[in-house]
Structure 1
Amino acid sequence: MPHTPRTPAPAAPAPADAPRPRARRRLRAAALLASAVSVCLLAASAPPTPLGVGDRLYPHLGNPGYDVAAYDLDLTYTGDNSKPLRAVTTIDARTTADLDRINLDFAHGTVDSVEVDGEPAGFETAGEDLVITPDDALDPGSWTRITVRHTSDPVYPEDREGGWVRTADGLAMANQADVAHLVFPCNDHPSDKARFTFRITAPDGLTAVANGLPTDVDRAGTTTTWTYRTEHPMATELAQVSIGRSAVLHRAGPHGLPVRDVVPAGQRAALEPWLAKTPGQIAWLEGKVGRYPFETYGLLMADAATGFELETQTLSLFERELFTEPGYPAWYLESIMVHELAHQWFGDSVSPKTWSDVWLNEGHATWYEALYAEEKAGKTVAARMKAAYGASDRWRAAGGPPAAPKPPAPGSKTGIFRANVYDGAALVLYALRQEIGAPAFERLERAWAERHADATASTADFVRLASDVAGRDLTGFFQGWLYGAKTPPMPGHPDWHPTATDTPSADKAGPHARLPHGGVRQAG
């Protein structure tokens, strides 16, 4: 019989000045009671409604009225990745409005019960929301704890992808951009970052790993419970849990940073030459943009064919076969490793305020991927950017300009992750460096990563900071490069022109690059 999840401990301590979860409201004055009861009855009689935070690209995601401080995920895995996990998700949140109902994003699993501050609460589904009705409304500015007992199902309908990824020996997660709520109830939008605690129970012989650092290992009978906790806030799309027959390898990075890799146990020798490159790559990026922003880093090599790699915070997800199957040049693989590593600064530590700001994530990761390939393998950035310039007008027509990508098409495999937010966005950064000069550009990059660490930031924030660093208003420059239907002239390269068809280039090695053997890869 599988282990039943314990009632979780607090996911992370609330701020020192935070009150304990709210006390029940006292009765209002008799003169106001009738009016208040009428309003509450009217709200209670209305049907549950799915909400969102108004994101232009994913309007159904996120929920207003509260700010999550911490998640505690307690998961019990039976050893069969075709069957649901038993789960308890506990959310500590501060309310920002008067709430008669609480909406969470959750769309794939069975909810057994819900408690709000230790008291049973009603719940219904509406669209992809779990709508919770506590006995008493929540006051704005109060702390509340929501506990949901549910299943987490790794088997999805054919029209849904992401969330749990079933591997050859277990499970991993790939939640970007809009599917964390297929795994656990949450406020599934990067604007609401929180600290996470993971508690994963699995049969002996399996190893569980998650974001952050380990805090406990508890062996009981034929199962082991592994606990991990993040030291920094994290967006739901970046959550990672790996369960499998894995080896966990440790080494030291710059400044004694713990570097931890998770690989299939039988593949550790074959993968070690690649894993050994990570400390040097971290040092290289620190030389460009400043100190690594988190408590640990490493690669999760999953035995699964995903078709992509993903920057899950502190533990980037890669396909194992990418490094063990022939056909990919070494410089290309190393640059993709740097792409996901760069995301730890750009996208993870500094998260997008809305999904329209995703160009800041992917453009920067692609930029440093290209810069690394130039410095380490002689694959020039200018040649790659010239090829991107030739294709940029077509990318904009197909996917929208970099800072205003078109909404994802129903059933799309790539969603919003098209060429316009990868090489198209890196092209914007190249144009900016041409416009303000390399020294100012490098100061901007460091200032951006430092000023917005552990927070969210928008395109407007980047334009404002770039103008400050350059000492002049760059609004007009960015307007054309970020929002124009046509690509503006490239500063310093009047000979660059759009091309009618893609220009093959050995220097073009981005997430959508044509590789020597003819394959196409996508990085997160």
Structure 2
Amino acid sequence: MRRIFFVLLLLPALFTMPAFAQVPGAQIDVKHYTFDIKLNDADNNIEGKATVSVRFLNGAEGFSLDLVKKNAEGKGMLVSAVTENGKPVKFTQDDEQLKINTRAYKGNTRDYTISYSGIPADGLIISTNAFGHRTFFGDNWPNRAHNWLPCVDNIADKATVDFIVTAPDHYQVVSNGLQTEEKQLDGKLKLTHWVEAVALPTKVMVIGVAEFAVDRPGDVNGIPVFTYVFPESKEVGFKSYAVAKNILPYFIKNVGPYSYEKLANVQSKTIFGGMENASAIFYFEESVKSPDIEELMAHEIAHQWFGDGASEKSFGHLWLSEGFATYMTNLYLENKYGADTLKTRLIGQRKKVLDFEKGRLTPVVDTAVKTKFMQLLNANSYEKGGWVLHMLRRKLGDDVFWKGVRNYYSKYQGSNANTDDLRRVMEQTSGKDLKPFFTQWLRNAGHPNLAVSWKYNEKDGYITINVTQNQAYVYNLPLEVSVDGQLLTVPVKEKSTTARFRVKAKPADVKVDPNINLLASFEEKR
């Protein structure tokens, strides 16, 4: 996703951590959800019926789903019934969870239907757009789905999903997967059924319900690409969003097959700049006019591979989603516009990292954050994560780097990975020990601050380059220095390093890190 900080400031600071699944000690693995949702124009109440297919990982006398209960302000969901095969099942509901009392054996797969209703406290944004028209948009990241859907609201649990939406018939509905049914009902209502056959985490399971103008700018490798915009934005939106069909082939070619049945790009009311919902990406309302729409779309489309297809195991490894999307955007733009575009972007992204670290010093892999996941939407997860991938690319070379990326995606497509999983794939691909590299750049806070000086000796024709690491942690890194166009590499491994190189003449032009390949700050001295 892309950040919009002025919006995030309006959000509650705390997003509580729901029940875990597919982690040590988990009781269940959800295999499939069917969410039958009824919307109306009279008020913000929704009626829901969720059928959840559960596989028991251990014998149990019951299990829990995440669901926010109706509170004193009248926001939240109230469960009226739970059934299995039409028979009532006992349950209790507390502030954050629905506890279902049922006896099951290890390996059992059972279906439970939960009937509920209420006004979503969050997660499903019910509001009006800039043109005064009512809209409904799912906005679940990081774990806000359980404000309106009974689920295991954790990225470690992936499941297939159906959304069956009944709403006034002046609305169109977009969701994950493919639309399999749309039919008129009595009372000026319409039922729309979407089916997603690829397992997803709840963070990217959504519906968008609004009055839309819909376009199909093209297909890519048999994958239909759609545009959904508000009718008043039709002229500008159809034109600006059409760039998606040119972005998709780049990632298919370089990373691997696209996982989903279609790609829809949707003008929405998301609180983020863009939200990478699987096969149905939501963009902020003014995105149709944004001069940066190509960059934004490249970022969100890259997430279809990194974050959606191959998801992080926990939010402490968010850089596997946001860092990858940031750098894949850089690579797409480099491929289209040239190496200078990449350098310019890397300079700006390096500055963001250095500025961020002036106020907060934490490692990229930030497992200390247990609940307030919004604070992970920072320069560590995005720009520094992207920079680490850039330095890894330079360390391994383009061919090995891309092969490693493809191997990583192929192995974890449809499942979850952490930072060590990526490291092991890259080690197997390259034949190199990458643990020191991953440790210093991802598990250590801060960055190298290098004091660089040089001196030329006319007698022997050598230039002596001195490098001092001013920070406490000592990095092992290659520092490139250009001397009159001759590229030299200083292997910096100690607190102080001295290297001598023969040059053709007294240097007239010395540049430190001329190709923008090192995440560091520099103090250059003569």
Give the TM-score range, shorter chain. Answer: 0.7 to 0.9
Residues of 1 paired with 2:164 and 2:375: CA distance? 31
* 1:211 and 1:228 in contact (8 A); partners too: yes
AA aligned opposite 2:44: K
Name the residue aligned to 2:27. 65
Residues of 1 paired with 2:393 and 2:270: CA distance? 37
Name the residue aligned to 2:100. 132
Match 1:187 to one of 128, 147, 152: 152
Matched, 1:428 2:388: yes
Flag as ranges the 4+ runs of structure 1 deviating above 6 A. Answer: none
Match 1:214 to one of 179, 182, 185: 179
The count of residues paired between Structure 1 and Structure 2 equals 429
AA aligned opposite 1:458: N
* 2:137 and 2:270 in contact (8 A); partners too: no
Name the residue aligned to 1:485. 445
Unmatched segments (≥5 aa) in structure 1: 1-56, 502-524
Match 2:301 to one of 318, 341, 347: 341
Name the residue aligned to 2:12. none
- Structure 2 vs 1, CA of residues 500 and 434 (structure 1 numbering), >3 Å: closer, same or farther? closer
Matched, 1:380 2:349: no
* 2:165 and 2:193 in contact (8 A); partners too: yes
- Structure 2 vs 1, CA of residues 230 and 484 (structure 1 numbering), >3 Å: closer, same or farther? same
- Structure 2 vs 1, CA of residues 408 and 269 (structure 1 numbering), >3 Å: closer, same or farther? farther
Name the residue aligned to 1:103. 64
Name the residue aligned to 1:317. 282
* 1:311 and 1:341 in contact (8 A); partners too: yes
Q: Return the offset for 1:373.
A: 2.9
* 1:164 and 1:183 in contact (8 A); partners too: no
Residues 363-386 of structure 1, C-alpha deviations (whole Å, 9 max, x = no match): 110002122333334553234334
- Structure 2 vs 1, CA of residues 152 and 453 (structure 1 numbering), >3 Å: closer, same or farther? farther
Q: Return the offset for 1:498.
A: 4.3
121-130 or 229-238: bigger deviation? 121-130
Residues of 2 paired with 1:469 and 1:234: CA distance? 27
Q: Return the offset for 1:126.
A: 3.2
Amino-acid identity (%):
24
AA aligned opposite 1:85: I
> SS of the counterpart of 1:187?
coil
> SS of the counterpart of 1:451?
helix
* 1:206 and 1:243 in contact (8 A); partners too: yes
Write the mapping of 1:152-163 to structure 2, written as runs, cut at 5 A.
152-154=118-120, 156=121, 162-163=123-124
420-429 or 271-280: bigger deviation? 271-280
> SS of the counterpart of 1:231?
strand
> SS of the counterpart of 2:221?
helix
Match 1:116 to one of 78, 81, 84: 84
- Structure 2 vs 1, CA of residues 129 and 268 (structure 1 numbering), >3 Å: closer, same or farther? same
Matched, 1:205 2:167: no
- Structure 2 vs 1, CA of residues 390 and 262 (structure 1 numbering), >3 Å: closer, same or farther? closer
Match 1:438 to one of 398, 402, 408: 398
Residues 454-487 of structure 1, C-alpha deviations (whole Å, 9 max, x = no match): 1112211101000011112211111111101233
* RMSD of equivalent CA atoms: 2.4
> SS of the counterpart of 2:410?
helix
Name the residue aligned to 2:267. 301
* 2:174 and 2:280 in contact (8 A); partners too: no
AA aligned opposite 2:437: F
Unmatched segments (≥5 aa) in structure 2: 1-14, 69-75, 448-474, 481-489, 491-511, 513-517
What's the TM-score, normalizing by structure 2? 0.76
* 2:123 and 2:148 in contact (8 A); partners too: no
Q: Return the offset for 1:71.
A: 0.1
Name the residue aligned to 1:145. 111
- Structure 2 vs 1, CA of residues 483 and 394 (structure 1 numbering), >3 Å: closer, same or farther? farther
Residues of 1 paired with 2:20 and 2:119: CA distance? 21
Q: Return the offset for 1:79.
A: 2.2
Residues of 2 paired with 1:490 and 1:417: CA distance? 27
Residues of 1 paired with 2:32 and 2:258: CA distance? 23
